[in-house]
């Protein structure tokens, strides 16, 4: 039961945190949107902020997680049904996110800052209900892959760009919008997708029939899935990428057997399934035998969304912890006025500021990398062709190289920091934080999936090494970014020397560097976050550099230097 504000205060309990504009109250996000060229979206972002901060949205988020999806493998007569039933609240949340373009607005309506604006929308929705963000993210990430195949893009991209949501299994052309999932991992392979055994038999006209099983298929009620399978014939051999629809154009169900749903630690609102294919139709995407390179464009975007999703979770953790501390009293004072607590809260806020700054910087790189599509003559020159293409300018090449390595660095470090950040914020609420009546218990379970999905810590740290060794342009672009504020702070200068030396050692001795790949990724991430924060609020940058890079830095949250301006940091939170 929710208390009135007066009753909550009288009982020394915080009132419900409802009726909040989650965008306008989020200074770090507001500043980042402005700084990276998406101020034009502020009005729409404020509308989204009010939506996700409303009592109704909070209730839908609660119900979506409290009432997890249910598998219906068979109907009552024993025939294959292979459907997942979600609570209606989940559909409401997903419909709201799609209506506001959290999935594909950056591709459907390209303009300067479009990817930054979409990143902000994505974070606002993921802040309150993270499970639905999985199909939203995969749909966004599928666009560059589908754009490689003109015949498929022509049919499917308009469906993905739709802002309507229809949960029933229907042909995509009969729905107001479509969502895309993915099925890559197999039981024996894990992160090693080259060990997969799912086979693809050529069926002509760019299609194949797939047979095999996938250990993880996220969001199995999506309209189509990107799937890797091994082709073997006299003409071609190797792993190819396929778009596999749930429902064929004539309305028939594509063979897509749901074996079971995973019982997951978190991400409970979203279903993940084991699936089996048996002569399941798929359209080849990209060149035969080049499925892994084809899918890497999608992986880049989903890794970025792991960073954004973790940052969104950090924002929820900071907001809920600070709300509690501003209303709860102990030993004659509000918790927020007690130095030990204010130091913890400010430190949690610093972590979020650094995460969102890095996430939006990478979204801005996407804006530079992708050319706005040409105007369609059929639409009188007013409508985009809706097929994205990489820009060919020198600046775009530099940003592409930067994003290649910086996304891996950010995926490693930000997502590694998420679980401990959630645990510390939960502790700020004391016993309340450990109950399911408050959202931080859900957040604590949720954050680890961002660190595991799309490459766990070792996989991504080794990918940083791979980028340094195979793509020297990436190392050069990163070094240029890190040098932007040399001389601004002695602790940062000293850290930069260490970071650049590690980069050089890793490039020179990549095999030996595997043992300290995590240290390399952490060192580079902290240097990059500090550099980005120096373009923002001075109190935040100073405290971050002193606490993360300075000689007296601590290992836990709340170990801020005496000079830290905690009041200024908390005012932004």
Q: Helices in 36-87 by DSSP H: which ranges?
A: 42-52, 55-66
The answer on pLDDT for 126 being more than 90 is yes
| Owner of token pair 């500021």 | 353
pLDDT bin (cut points 50, 70, 90) of residue 236 is low
| Structural domains of the chain ordered from first start | 174-290 (2.40.110.20)
Instruction: Return the half-sphere exposure (C-beta side, CA atoms, 13 A cut-off) of residue 543.
Output: 29
Q: At 443, which helix (H) or strand (E)?
A: helix 439-452
What is the percentage of the chain residues whose pLDDT exceeds 70?
95
pLDDT bin (cut points 50, 70, 90) of residue 389 is confident
Mean pLDDT of 64-72: 97
Q: 527-569 pLDDT, tens per residue? A: 999 999 999 999 999 999 999 998 888 889 999 999 999 999 9
Contacts for 394 with CB less than 8 Å, ≥ 6 apart: none
Bigger pLDDT: 143 vs 297: 143
pLDDT bin (cut points 50, 70, 90) of residue 381 is very low
Query: If DSSP codes are grouped into helix, strand and coil, which group holds residue 85?
Result: strand
Q: Which of 465, 351, 446, 452 is nearest to 411 (CA)?
A: 452
pLDDT bin (cut points 50, 70, 90) of residue 372 is low
Cα separation values, 79 from 75, 133, 270, Å:
5, 32, 25
Measured on CA atoms in the order 539, 335, 15, 318, is the torsion positive or negative?
positive
Contacts for 38 with CB less than 8 Å, ≥ 6 apart: 113, 114, 116, 117, 120
Q: 399-455 pLDDT, tens per residue? A: 999 999 999 999 999 999 999 999 999 999 999 999 999 999 999 999 999 999 988
Q: Which of 572, 31, 59, 35 is nearest to 318 (CA)?
A: 572
Q: 454-495 pLDDT, tens per residue? A: 889 999 999 999 999 899 999 999 999 999 999 999 999 999
Parallel, antiparallel or unpaired: strands 370-371 and 389-390 = antiparallel
Can you read off the two tokens belonging to residue 182? 């993915």
Q: Could you tell me if 225 and 217 are in contact, meaning their C-beta atoms sit under 8 angstroms apart? A: yes
Q: Cα angle vertex 434, ends 433, 439, to 5°?
A: 55
Q: How many other CB atoms are found less than 10 A from the CB of residue 430?
A: 12
Interatomic CA distance for residues 285 and 15, integer angstroms = 52
Residue by residue, what is the 3-state secondary structure of 254-316? Answer: CCCEEEEECCCCCCCCCCEEEEEEEEEEEEEECCCCEHHHHHHHHHHHHHHHHHHHHHHHHHH
The answer on pLDDT for 375 being more than 60 is no
Q: How many other CB atoms are found less than 10 A from the CB of residue 24?
A: 15
The answer on pLDDT for 37 being more than 80 is yes
pLDDT for 188 equals 82
Measured on CA atoms in the order 15, 18, 21, 27, is the torsion positive or negative?
positive
Q: Which of 112, 274, 97 is nearest to 186 (CA)?
A: 274
- Farthest CA pair distance, the chain: 80
> Measured in Å, how far apart are the chain's first and last C-alpha atoms?
27
Q: Which of 361, 443, 448 is nearest to 409 (CA)?
A: 361
The answer on pLDDT for 307 being more than 90 is yes
pLDDT bin (cut points 50, 70, 90) of residue 374 is very low
Q: Which of 308, 160, 131, 310 is nearest to 226 (CA)?
A: 160
Contacts for 378 with CB less than 8 Å, ≥ 6 apart: none
| Owner of token pair 């479509």 | 178
Q: 3-32 pLDDT, tens per residue? A: 444 555 668 999 999 999 999 999 999 999
Q: 318-342 pLDDT, tens per residue? A: 999 999 999 999 999 999 999 999 9
Mean pLDDT for the chain overall = 93
Poorest-pLDDT segment among 87-101, 184-198, 246-260, 278-292: 184-198
Interatomic CA distance for residues 160 and 176, integer angstroms = 9
The answer on pLDDT for 1 being more than 80 is no
Q: 494-536 pLDDT, tens per residue? A: 999 999 999 999 999 999 999 999 999 999 999 999 999 999 9
Q: Across the strands, what pairs with 384?
A: 375
Interatomic CA distance for residues 69 and 446, integer angstroms = 16
Residue by residue, what is the 3-state secondary structure of 182-250? Answer: EECCCCCCCCCHHHCCCEEEEEECCEEEEEEEEEEEECCCCCEEEEEEEEECCCCEEEEEEEEECECCC
Dihedral angle over CA of 375, 377, 382, 387, nearest 10: -40
Q: 143-192 pLDDT, tens per residue? A: 999 999 999 999 999 999 999 999 999 999 999 999 999 998 899 877 77
């Amino acid at each position: 039961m929710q208390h009135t504000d007066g009753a909550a205060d009288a009982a020394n309990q915080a009132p419900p945190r409802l009726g909040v504009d989650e965008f306008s109250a989020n200074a770090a996000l507001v500043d980042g949107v402005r700084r990276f060229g998406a101020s034009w979206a502020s009005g729409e972002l404020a509308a989204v902020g009010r939506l996700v901060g409303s009592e109704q949205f909070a209730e839908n988020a609660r119900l979506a997680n409290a009432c997890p999806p249910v598998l219906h493998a068979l109907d009552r007569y024993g025939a294959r049904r292979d459907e997942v039933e979600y609570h209606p609240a989940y559909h409401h949340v997903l419909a709201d996110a799609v209506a506001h373009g959290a999935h594909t607005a950056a591709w459907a309506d390209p303009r300067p800052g479009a990817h930054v604006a979409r990143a902000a929308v994505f974070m606002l929705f993921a802040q309150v209900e993270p499970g639905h963000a999985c199909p939203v993210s995969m749909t966004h990430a599928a666009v560059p892959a589908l754009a490689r195949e003109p015949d498929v893009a022509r049919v499917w991209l308009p469906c993905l760009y739709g802002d309507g949501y229809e949960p029933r299994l229907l042909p995509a052309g009969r729905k107001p919008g479509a969502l895309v999932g993915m099925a890559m991992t197999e039981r024996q392979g894990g992160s090693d997708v080259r060990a997969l055994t799912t086979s693809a038999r050529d069926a002509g006209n760019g299609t194949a029939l797939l047979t095999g099983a996938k250990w993880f298929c996220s969001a199995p009620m999506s309209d189509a899935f990107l799937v890797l399978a091994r082709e073997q014939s006299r003409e071609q051999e190797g792993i190819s990428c396929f778009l596999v629809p749930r429902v064929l154009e004539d309305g028939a169900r594509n063979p897509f057997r749901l074996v079971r749903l995973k019982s997951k630690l978190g991400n409970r609102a979203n279903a993940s399934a084991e699936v089996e294919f048996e002569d399941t139709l798929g359209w080849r995407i990209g060149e035969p035998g080049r499925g892994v390179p084809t899918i890497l464009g999608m992986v880049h975007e989903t890794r970025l969304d792991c960073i954004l999703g973790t940052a969104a979770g950090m924002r929820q953790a900071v907001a809920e912890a600070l709300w509690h501390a501003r209303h709860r009293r102990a030993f004659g004072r509000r918790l927020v006025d007690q130095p030990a607590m204010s130091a913890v809260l400010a430190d949690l806020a610093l972590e979020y500021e650094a995460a969102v700054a890095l996430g939006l910087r990478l979204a801005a790189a996407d804006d530079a990398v992708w050319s706005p599509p040409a105007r369609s003559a059929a639409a009188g020159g007013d409508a985009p062709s809706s097929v994205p293409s990489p820009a060919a300018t020198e600046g775009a090449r530099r940003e592409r190289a930067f994003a290649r390595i910086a996304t891996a660095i950010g995926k490693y470090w930000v997502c590694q920091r998420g679980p401990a950040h959630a645990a510390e914020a939960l502790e700020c609420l004391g016993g309340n934080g450990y109950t399911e009546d408050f959202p931080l218990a859900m957040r604590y379970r949720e954050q680890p999936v961002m660190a595991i999905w799309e490459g766990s810590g070792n996989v991504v740290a080794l990918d940083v090494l791979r980028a340094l060794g195979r793509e020297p342009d990436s190392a050069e672009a990163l070094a240029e970014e890190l040098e932007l504020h040399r001389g601004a702070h002695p602790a940062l200068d000293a850290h930069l020397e260490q970071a650049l030396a590690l980069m050089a050692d890793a490039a020179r001795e990549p095999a030996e560097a595997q043992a300290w790949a995590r240290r390399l990724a952490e060192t580079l991430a902290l240097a990059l976050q500090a550099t980005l924060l120096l373009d923002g609020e001075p109190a935040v940058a100073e405290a971050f550099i002193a606490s993360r890079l300075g000689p007296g830095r601590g290992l836990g949250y709340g170990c801020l230097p005496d000079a830290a301006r905690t009041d200024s940091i908390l005012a932004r939170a």
